[in-house]
Structure 1
Amino acid sequence: MMVPRPLAGTVVIGCLALGPAGAEEATLDPVTVTAPRLERPMADTPAAITRVGAGERRGRRGLTLDEGLEAVPGVFFQNRHNFAQGLRISSRGFGARAAFGIRGLRLRLDGLPLTLPDGQSQVDTIDLDSVTSVEVRRGPASVLYGNATGGVLDIRTAEGFAMAHSPLVRVQTGSYGFRKASWRSGGAGQRWAFHLSGTAQVLDGHREQSGSKKRLARASATRRFDGGRELRLIAGAMDTPFAEDPGGLTRAQLADNPSQADPDAVLLDAGQTVEQQDVGAVWTDPATLPGELSARAFASRRDFEQQLPFVYPGAENRVGYQRAFYGTRLEYADRANWAGWPVKGLVGIDADRQADDRVRFVVDSDRVVRNQTVEERQTAIAAGVFGRLGVELTEATGVTLGLRLDRLRLAVDDRLPTPTDDSGARTFTEPSAGLGLTRSLGPHTLYANIATAFESPTFVELADPSGGGGFNPALEPQKAVNREVGARGPLGGLGSYELAAFSVRVREELVPFHKGGRTFFENAAGTRRQGIEAGLDLSPAVGWTLQGAVTLADYRFTEFEDRAGNDYAGNRLPGLPPYHGDLKVRREGERGYGEVALRHVGPVYADNANSEEADPYNVVDLRAGRRWSLGGDRRLTLFGVVANVFDATYPANVRVNTGPAYYEPAPGRTFHAGVELGF
């Protein structure tokens, strides 16, 4: 594979799922976009969207959400192997700043939000073995969902009406003490369906102090009523007794022994414990009113405690919280004719509330809690009203306009008995707008859009670096203007392609910096993101599939002078490669499959000064599986994987601006295998 040179742009080749492998003709089934309501064919959507089905996750361990999404253009994943920090996802460069979890994207699971009002997202509660599809929309998401500049991930799990081979049991084992058992079951009657799933997994870890253990359970019940009405009830629970954090390494430590941990991480037994419970309901009603009415409501509770992997006198290195997160959303969509033009309209309102009871302690090198520095109630309330209008100007041309207004209030109630009261509140009121155009040229679609978006600081990012508690009064939301053009369509009878070019200007970009062992944030005056995205999904012969994606990116500060007076204008944004690409070749037969996957990632700067750079790397993976029919509906599948075949040493994560220990190494060559039995 030829490695592309860095360009002042980004290229992504987006992938659209084909029909079943081995079919005589590569016939593209219509794909429906579900992340924005008022369902519409993907071809009519003026945005870069890729939908990945369950088949792309086949033979995977089911540990992190990125599995199967490698060939989605414009999306970059880090931190796949540190379960105390969580997967880091960036879309068009948004989200790379996150020290923990996911920022800058809106995530939804079966129509219910995984993103908190303050902009944080966690994906550790998803039962990945039950995921049936992931729809990735790159670009601003604020018009429909608020408070996101990078895009939307809409995740769907199995439900009884669509299940096959149920119950299904899967057992896996592999390198570094990996063991996992999972099961799912479902069924349906004429008007009802159910789905149940459970997972238990243990991993000793490829580094010292990197083990984890987790249990998941999920259930849903769907009831259909007259007139197409439907109610789906969902419940889930997650328990992580431990997820250890090995910390970062210096470049010299990475080269010397990538399996070691930061000595402070071992000394403190760094890591986290988490429990979470969720309930939700989704109601769809196309019969009561002329259009379609939909509503959702949810509630979750999360208990969290983490020992951070650093120690020094006065270090606030143990944190914990108890969180309640709940909310509701109401939408109404309808179709009409206006002056002879077909019109599709959508209006809605949503409101979510997050309440965290947070504590922070100082722990010394003997693991003794010396004193408590934080005891507070953090409350975030987000509310938004939105609308979208789509007009078919001709049979081949459509225009879409979206508007939204958000109000976000973040408040802290300081409950620690000290002479200083650090209570306070910040309120942000932000509008968002988007305009899109589509044009059909036979089976091909051309599109263009321009949209604005905002992204607020989270509670963690609002911490005051001056040493006091409460909010940083100088920190503001970042605001983006996105411009994009693209094309997608079939390639004869061979497959499909997607191509997009974008340019994003951001004001008040939120940028991390390191001080006293902690990560704080400040606003850069401006940044620029521009590039091209492209993807390809081909079936050149019966049973053969080739998928490719490449991203060429230019992410830079246009104006930025840091707190020390350093001028970083023109520097590349840290944590992001200027190019990365994936290529997969798969052979599928009636009884089995084999796959070769190649990933190339370019160099990544670790700091704003661009003084520390992680080297580019290549990784090759091999996957294979074999199926047997046991009669009736019973089937047996064996599968195996060799990951990082050539045992490359490379960082799976770069801890931005936390030097000199910037790097978290990925595992070397690893193996895992599994057996699956379906009935």
Structure 2
Amino acid sequence: MFHISRAARWSLGATALLGTVAHAAPPQDGTPATTSQRLPATENIIVTGANRAPATIRPAGQTTYSADRSSFGNQVGQTVADMVVTIPGVSFTQGNGPRDTVVSVRGSGDRQSYGLKNLQILEDGFPMTQSDGTARADLIDPHAYEGVDVFEGPASTVYGNYAINGAINFRTRKGADIHGLELGSDFGSFGMFNNYVTLGLGNRTYDLMVFGSDVRGQGFIANSSYNTSTENMRLRVNVTPSDRLILKVVNNITDAFLPVRLSLSQFRANPFQQGCQDASHAAPGCAFVNLLVNGRYGAKEAMSPQAAGLGRFDRRTVVGLRWEHDFNTHLTWRNQFTYDQRHVDQPTSPTAFVGPYNSYNVSSDMTHQARIGGTSLETFGGVNFDYLDFGYQTYNVMPSGGATRGAKSSESYGHQWNLGARFQEDWHFAPRWHAVVGLGGTYSDLGAAETLYGYSEAGATRRDITANRFFFNLAPEGALIYTPTQAWTLHTRVGTAYGTPSSSNLFITPQGTYGNNTQLKSQTSVGVDVGADWRPTADIHIQATGFYEFYNDELVSQSAGVNTVGSYTFNAPASQHRGIVLGADWKPLPKTLPGGRMTLGYTYDNQVYTNYAEVLSNSTMSRSFSRKGNRIPGVIPNFLNARFLYTQPDGPLEGLGGYAEVTWRDAYWLDNANRLKAPGYALLNLEIHYDPPKRFGWTHRLHWYFEVQNVANETYVAGATNISDTLLANGRQAGGSTLMNSTGSIYAGSPRAYFGGVRIRL
């Protein structure tokens, strides 16, 4: 449910499955806190300095939905998709790798092939998005987490650059809640095996959580085996009654083979790419890559992904330290530093991409609480600076197996830094009314140099390109919350956001030549949210939010014309995103079936271009086509998750529970001309688990589960990237029958799969 929170209140309880309506915020470890009961605006909360901390990661007045461990802790928990599937407003698709889930908030990442874009990602309040707006889900093992909060809508006032569609904060488990050592194993179809361990200790002075896991599997698509290890640690120490230190460490290594994406025709013929090892004797529907035989120029050879050795070997390490100091019971100061290194080695196509991305983030903020007459006023202000330096190379992949590198095709070195400030006032100006105003701004500097290498019989050529850009953006916001009764909370918000281009957008001009793409602007958005939260009884909780967002200069890629070097990044002048987000939590028979519960999360997302002309080219001509009124491709218009859950509360079968779940995804367009759709689907999943009650002695420390995913064994599209429209020889746009043969788009989803697991607490 949406969270209407002040910028600095303190821990009051546990997060419900879909979140709660509260005036609450993170405890001293920096993670958001919630309450299961709404607090009147006039209620006073007395806290001591040792227990308080600013809640800068939870913007006051913003629509927020949450999920806690009760919704994902009893199952296999392979990816972040298992954590967010119940959250309204959130959808997801398969990225490039076993845990590379593309998470979308109101359509934010639906047009991406990997990672989490147009969002700011945090973990326990530490930034997990680098300065160029890149974040990935590979480092997330759901077993380590207590919950996740999704802040929906434009959010650059608090989060700065790239918070176009909001932000997500993942909360790891607290050591005091674990209180010991937990060992667990998951196992199941396609050779999946995950061993994990969690250590938790804590008291009033410190709290320590240490987690490690190693997961491997063969995958259900040819050339998709993987081995991923993750370590996660958080330590909080109360140095004095007024000072706290929080140390955060995350390390992840992803070693995965990778299939290539398919056309819709290939998906229908051979979704799991069986019989494709040998290109000369391949089954129908196989996908191949064409590799330069000598690694430099000339003849090419078609090879399957497994024969070529395509895959990813990536490492990510994040280390953060935060110091919180209470000057008094009304004023808190917080300082934070985070180092984030992402090193990639990705022979995922005919070209291998290799290089490090080193990111540094420093922030400082203050929160002050005051009383004005009989009302409360909270003031928050902060500054932040983040810096990214990178150096990567690309190499041609040769048909020698093992992703053998050929000649270097390009290299690039550069930086991006963002300097920002933010300010927010949070005023309870009347017993039932609550207003928030804020302003944030960011100055961004991008600079990079790219060297292109060419090869022919005559020899090698080299070309150097330099690109530099500067951007300054502002993001005001305002929110109003009204609580007429204990059962109702109404809210409205106007939020703004911005996202600058990244350095990779700067090297091809609108004329289709290599150079500085100086015309690019920052993409910006203004969004209006209107929502209501209704809790008529303790057994019913319904929340709904309508949103209407106006986008300007949205970054898209298009052709520059005939005989050019490739596509360039362009600002689509205007588009609109509008929709409804609905969540419900209901205990239908609290007396006769006290362990039964139903949950619903539904998103309607209608995104259209209102001003955009696209250029298409063939070998002889170029034409421009208006996309005004067209649906934006990649955006899933309807996404629904419904669960019926039951846990036996007493008797001989106490602790036995499970759920039946239906997830439905609507069909969605794959191209700007709206000629071809990815088909929709509905999946049924079943789960059963057992937590023995305390009266059973040591067996109480055991947790068992078993689940069946995709019970009906449906073949479905788990992820599809946008495809380019084509111009026929007669000057007309190609239809769906032609576009369905465009490769490089689709990954199939898993067929029916069985998983089980056990966890023991020592």
Q: Normalising to structure 1: TM-score of the pair?
A: 0.90
Task: Verify the 8 A CA contact 2:78 2:141 in the aligned structure 1.
Answer: no
Amino acid aligned to 1:598: V
CA distance in 2, matches of 1:217, 1:290: 37
Amino acid aligned to 2:691: R
Map 1:619-630 → 2, pairs under 5 A:
619-628=683-692
Amino acid aligned to 1:130: A
Counterpart secondary structure, 2:221? coil
Is 2:674 the counterpart of 1:631? Answer: no
The change in CA–CA distance for 1:37 and 1:156 in structure 2 (over 3 A counts) is closer
Is 2:336 the counterpart of 1:296? Answer: yes
Task: Verify the 8 A CA contact 1:14 1:536 in the aligned structure 2.
Answer: no
The change in CA–CA distance for 1:14 and 1:163 in structure 2 (over 3 A counts) is same
In structure 1, the partner of 2:170 is 155
Map 1:237-252 → 2, pairs under 5 A:
237-240=251-254, 242-252=255-265
CA distance in 1, matches of 2:656, 2:287: 43
CA distance in 2, matches of 1:96, 1:527: 15
In structure 2, the partner of 1:113 is 127
Task: Verify the 8 A CA contact 2:508 2:567 in the aligned structure 1.
Answer: no
In structure 1, the partner of 2:571 is 523
**Residue of 405, 419, 434 corresponding to 1:398:** 434
In structure 2, the partner of 1:284 is 324
Is 2:746 the counterpart of 1:663? Answer: yes
Which deviates the most, 534-543 or 508-517?
508-517
Is 2:601 the counterpart of 1:549? Answer: yes
The change in CA–CA distance for 1:61 and 1:214 in structure 2 (over 3 A counts) is same
Is 2:287 the counterpart of 1:262? Answer: yes
In structure 1, the partner of 2:54 is none
Is 2:144 the counterpart of 1:130? Answer: yes
CA distance in 2, matches of 1:33, 1:570: 41
Which deviates the most, 593-602 or 116-125?
116-125
In structure 2, the partner of 1:539 is 587
In structure 1, the partner of 2:633 is 574
Counterpart secondary structure, 2:691? strand
Counterpart secondary structure, 1:438? strand
Map 1:464-475 → 2, pairs under 5 A:
464=508, 471-475=516-520
Map 1:231-630 → 2, pairs under 5 A:
231-240=245-254, 242-260=255-273, 262-264=287-289, 265-287=305-327, 290-309=330-349, 311=350, 317-338=351-372, 341-366=375-400, 369-414=405-450, 420-443=463-486, 444-464=488-508, 471-513=516-558, 521-540=569-588, 541=590, 542-564=594-616, 565-589=624-648, 590-628=654-692
Amino acid aligned to 2:199: S
CA distance in 2, matches of 1:518, 1:64: 35
Task: Verify the 8 A CA contact 1:14 1:72 in the aligned structure 2.
Answer: no
CA distance in 1, matches of 2:412, 2:20: 54
Cα deviation code 1:590-609 (max 9, x no counterpart):
32211000011111111111
Task: Verify the 8 A CA contact 1:18 1:537 in the aligned structure 2.
Answer: no
Percent identity, aligned pairs only, is 20
Amino acid aligned to 2:176: F
Cα deviation code 1:575-595 (max 9, x no counterpart):
112212110000012322110
The change in CA–CA distance for 1:526 and 1:30 in structure 2 (over 3 A counts) is closer
Task: Verify the 8 A CA contact 2:79 2:140 in the aligned structure 1.
Answer: no
The change in CA–CA distance for 1:461 and 1:672 in structure 2 (over 3 A counts) is farther
Which deviates the most, 523-532 or 498-507?
523-532
CA distance in 2, matches of 1:340, 1:190: 33
Amino acid aligned to 1:32: A
Amino acid aligned to 1:580: F
CA distance in 1, matches of 2:683, 2:536: 29
The change in CA–CA distance for 1:122 and 1:461 in structure 2 (over 3 A counts) is farther
Map 1:196-215 → 2, pairs under 5 A:
196-215=210-229
Which deviates the most, 562-571 or 633-642?
633-642
Q: CA deviation at 1:95?
A: 2.0
Task: Verify the 8 A CA contact 1:333 1:347 in the aligned structure 2.
Answer: yes
In structure 2, the partner of 1:51 is 66
Cα deviation code 1:186-218 (max 9, x no counterpart):
112441232211100102111011121111112
The change in CA–CA distance for 1:382 and 1:325 in structure 2 (over 3 A counts) is same
CA distance in 2, matches of 1:521, 1:60: 42
The structure having more radius of gyration, on CA atoms, is 2
Task: List runs of 5+ in structure 2 lacking aligned partners.
Answer: 5-11, 42-59, 274-285, 290-304, 454-460, 617-623, 649-653, 725-738
CA distance in 1, matches of 2:567, 2:747: 17
Relative contact order higher in (CA < 8 Å, ≥ 6 apart): 1
Counterpart secondary structure, 1:563? strand
Task: Verify the 8 A CA contact 2:66 2:149 in the aligned structure 1.
Answer: yes
In structure 1, the partner of 2:736 is none
CA distance in 1, matches of 2:253, 2:583: 37
In structure 2, the partner of 1:5 is none
Q: CA deviation at 1:562?
A: 1.1
In structure 1, the partner of 2:728 is none
Q: CA deviation at 1:91?
A: 1.4
CA distance in 2, matches of 1:66, 1:224: 34
Q: CA deviation at 1:290?
A: 4.0
Map 1:174-193 → 2, pairs under 5 A:
174-193=188-207
Amino acid aligned to 2:551: V
The change in CA–CA distance for 1:31 and 1:249 in structure 2 (over 3 A counts) is farther
RMSD, aligned CA: 3.0
Counterpart secondary structure, 1:546? strand
CA distance in 2, matches of 1:668, 1:14: 34
CA distance in 2, matches of 1:239, 1:519: 33
Q: CA deviation at 1:29?
A: 9.2
Cα deviation code 1:373-393 (max 9, x no counterpart):
322222111110000001112
Task: List runs of 5+ in structure 1 lacking aligned partners.
Answer: 1-12, 312-316
Counterpart secondary structure, 1:576? coil
Q: CA deviation at 1:225?
A: 3.3
CA distance in 1, matches of 2:530, 2:587: 26
Aligned pair count?
655
Task: Verify the 8 A CA contact 2:535 2:542 in the aligned structure 1.
Answer: yes
CA distance in 2, matches of 1:600, 1:521: 33
In structure 2, the partner of 1:229 is 243
Q: Normalising to structure 2: TM-score of the pair?
A: 0.81
CA distance in 1, matches of 2:111, 2:99: 13
Counterpart secondary structure, 1:162? helix
Task: Verify the 8 A CA contact 1:637 1:676 in the aligned structure 2.
Answer: yes
Cα deviation code 1:103-124 (max 9, x no counterpart):
1111001111011112111122
Counterpart secondary structure, 1:273? strand
Amino acid aligned to 2:603: T
Amino acid aligned to 1:455: G
In structure 1, the partner of 2:52 is none
Amino acid aligned to 2:531: G
Q: CA deviation at 1:157?
A: 0.5
CA distance in 1, matches of 2:330, 2:362: 22
Is 2:749 the counterpart of 1:650? Answer: no
Amino acid aligned to 1:324: N
Which deviates the most, 619-628 or 89-98?
89-98
Q: CA deviation at 1:548?
A: 0.3
Counterpart secondary structure, 1:167? strand
